[in-house]
Structure 1
């Protein structure tokens, strides 16, 4: 939509183009021609004019207080923290100076990684921030940013979710911190259910081959490893429940059906043949496992895992979004004594993965 507007004859900053994209899935190669866009000479000139080079002090950019966080339990806390950071780095400031400034303004206990993540996000929305001599400096001039008077002298405590994110920022060294939004989606209910599924697939693709199976009458998420002639595989079901997920009977029985369909691979059971998504080019050699992913688990969920295991003779698990992030991080850490075999083994422990 934005590129379409920029390609308008009256603007001309972007040129419409066509691009051929190919992707190999198993032994098949799929080719598609897609709409593409290329920045024009005038677009490059316009882009450079808004960047803060030595001969250009930077443009004035409108950033309101409300833009710094749009929704969620912690929106005021995040807005205040980010506003103070932006105001402070109008002059070069070190991480230590930023932390002290936040402490002095009722925003205590903010970690170095949290501040770095905020600054990365400022850059992503188009703000020009430089780093020199261990100090950050906002190169643009910001207008409209003002902390409301009623929020200037009070301490707003972060939610448990935000505290968990701050702790994970210190732990996640190899995994991109953008995946922390999985925690938000895990409690978003129906409005965030699809995003939760997609982000889990993207997260798993950091360490295995994962697929999001759209459409009904099939699992939401599958995964296998390695890419060619895989050994291990998993069927996953994600549930975005704020108050926790107890694996009710209908969800339990769906998982049983998926496991049975995978093992049988019989078109008469399900003519959409979703299990063929595991072929690469052969089916995984080890027994399939199942897992449920949610923000937390409540009630008699372990009994439900046992029921599925007894009915199918297949091992499975429940795993929280927070734990899944930590497990992916451990696999990505080549120095850790934890690998994909350990990961799949834990997914088949028939209880909550710790």
Structure 2
């Protein structure tokens, strides 16, 4: 369990006063600690959740508390999140909207926040938390005092993503959460997705009601976009950034669409001054960066391998300037065989999480003092256990000389059964932003996932993210057949949303495509069946071959017309 913690990245934990109460839990006889022992835990937590043990642990001067007792359990069978019983210490600290406590998800978010910025120490072997010296100073500081502000400043500036966001805003121009999010995190990796802003504008241009607009702007975001929104809430509280409304523009099918995104941010004068502490500029002493092993990868199945590789990279680049070839030789001594493309993307990822990497010619050096970064003893032996998926991405990375490596995330998403929306969005972005096809992600009820076109050729796409491959079941084949027939007849009585208007009037030749991580079973029979019944040809293409096809198009080796011809084979496209 301890290896599955994701310290270093925080979502949905905004309020600094609640953070302080979480830290004050660990100070014996503080007002928060005392209320927990004498009132809240006896009243809110039942015996089955170890309330007596909780009270005992909270009654000592030097507390070391198991993470599970702090976070609590998930929602028990027969309950919903809204009525689940209180089962953790931090749940009891955080006030809910309709009840006196929060669920385990916010409790976990606040714990990760406190650990990530150095207020709590985390013992990985024991899976326990205790208060740090900085955390104790923070807990006993007077609310609103100068001392409290100085401690928060030190803590936040030790957290690399804070420095990354401030640096991106340094020039004084406002940026939306999507513009920041696409530059936060590791390149082309699940766990660091950002929704393409032009697709947000596409959706806003067709939203019919205020509710649709609000839902699109508040609910449609990638993982990195959520991190941006959370961190910027902290920076607003510190008065280092301010939230503004920003007008943004995108070229859509018939027009240039301009709209307003309210979740946009701009640095303040105080924020610019504070940023000098992060960079060590002029007379300001640079603050050490706290980098946790967990934050170096989150979602991939071989995240421990990636965390280890990036840990070795950070430690090596902290000693002196090194070239890519020297880094490769160094990693070989750790049992890791890598190439320059992979290392280049890793270095960009380090920059994107907020580590100050300087380049001198063809060599690189980390200019920050890094603290808190160690490989856990339990995973030091995973040096040779890179996953097949990572090996595949490394191989494809070498072949993408014209396509942005951020689209390597399509390989991850194609095998993630919970990532349908992100898979659709990133596919649409690859085709429209990177390759300049016209079209968009539709992806709502009774609409295809993605439609694109170029000159007279149009393509109707269904994205399917499956962990064990996609066999194209009959039901989903019939769904594609329905879309093809709706496009052929273009009768509003068949489908009042008229999704086919995404295509230009000049588009006269159509084909269909299924996009997935891998195809299995009798998918070819279903492709042929759709073709016979609709008199329309189509194809299946996996994420890897879609990327290779994109590379051929963008390099100029394959014309747009010939690319569409490939989707007429009624079979799987292989490049």
> What's the TM-score, normalizing by structure 1?
0.91
Ranges in structure 2 where 5+ consecutive residues have no aligned partner: 1-228
Aligned twin of 1:172: 400
Is this contact kept in 1: 2:304–2:382, CA < 8 A? no
Match of 1:163 in 2: 391
The whole-number CA distance in structure 2 between the counterparts of 1:211 and 1:45 is 42
CA distance in 1, matches of 2:260, 2:419: 31
Contact 2:248 2:260 in 1 (8 A): yes
- The answer to whether the 8 Å contact 1:238/1:292 transfers is yes
1:134: Cα distance to partner? Answer: 2.0
Deviations 1:272-319 (A, max 9, x none): 11111113xx2413x111000111111111111111110011010000
Among 326, 329, 342, which residue is 2:562 paired with?
Answer: 342
Name the SS of the counterpart of 1:297 in structure 2: coil
Which of 58-67 and 18-27 deviates more?
18-27
Find the aligned partners of 2:249 and 2:349 in 1 and give their Cα distance.
31
SS at match of 1:267: coil
CA–CA distance in structure 1, aligned partners of residues 296 and 249 of structure 2: 38
The partner residue of 1:3 within 232, 240, 262 is 232
Identify which of 295, 308, 314 aligns with 2:517: 295
Helix, strand or coil at the partner of 1:253: helix
Residue 250 (structure 1) aligns with: 475
**Residues 52 and 139 in structure 1, CA contact (< 8 A), matched pair in contact too:** no
| Structure 1 Cα separation of the partners of residues 538 and 279 of structure 2 | 52
For 1:116 and 1:52, locate their aligned partners in 2 and report how far apart those are by CA, in whole Å.
Answer: 25
Which stretch has the larger CA shift, 251-260 or 46-55? 46-55
Q: Which has the higher strand share?
A: 1
C-alpha displacement at 1:320, in angstroms? 0.5
Q: What residue in structure 2 maps to residue 43 of structure 1?
A: 271
Question: Aligned pairs, how many?
Answer: 341
CA contact (8 A) 2:305 2:382 kept: no
Q: 1:143 aligns with which of 371, 383, 388?
A: 371
The alpha carbon displacement at 1:246 in A equals: 1.1
Equivalent of 2:531 in 309, 331, 346 = 309
Cα distance in 2, alignment partners of residues 315 and 62 from structure 1? 55
- Aligned partner of 1:198 in structure 2 is 425
Which structure has the larger Rg over C-alpha atoms?
2
Mapped to 2, the partners of 1:291 and 1:131 lie a distance apart of 43
> Matched residue of 1:18: which SS?
strand
Q: Separation in 2 of the partners of 1:201 and 1:142? A: 38
Shift, 1:49, TM fit: 2.5
What do residues 162-185 of structure 1 show as CA deviations (whole Å, max 9, x unaligned)? 101111111111111111111111
The answer to whether the Cα contact below 8 Å between 1:347 and 1:353 also exists between their aligned partners in 2 is: yes
- Selected match of 1:185 from 413, 417, 421: 413
Per-residue CA deviation, residues 229-286 of structure 1 (Å, 9 max, x unaligned), is: x31110000111121111111011011100000011111111111111113xx2413x
Query: Does residue 335 of structure 2 align to residue 106 of structure 1?
Result: yes
CA separation of 1:46/1:350 partners in 2, compared to 1, >3 Å: closer, same or farther? same
Distance in 2, matches of 1:129 and 1:22, equals 32
1:224 to 453, 458, 469: 453
Distance 1:151 1:54, change over 3 A: farther
Q: Contact (CA 8 Å) 1:233, 1:288: kept in 2 or not?
A: yes
Gaps of at least 5 residues in structure 1 are none
Residues 66-109 of structure 1, C-alpha deviations (whole Å, 9 max, x = no match): 111123321111111111111101121111211111111111x2
Q: Please give the secondary structure, in 1, of the residue aligned with 2:312.
A: helix
Q: Which residue of 2 aligns with 1:132?
A: 360
1:21 to 1:54, Cα distance in 2 relative to 1, 3 A? closer
Structure 1 or 2: larger helix share? Answer: 2
CA RMSD of the aligned region, Å?
Answer: 1.9
1:18 deviates by 2.8
| Structure 1 Cα separation of the partners of residues 391 and 253 of structure 2 | 42
After TM superposition, the score normalised by the length of structure 2 is: 0.57
* Partner SS, residue 466 of structure 2: coil
Contact 1:316 1:347 in 2 (8 A): yes
Following superposition, the deviation at residue 21 of structure 1 comes to: 3.6
State the match for 1:325 in structure 2: 547
Q: CA deviation at 1:153?
A: 5.1
- Bigger relative CO (Cα 8 Å, ≥ 6 apart): 1
SS across alignment from 2:541: strand
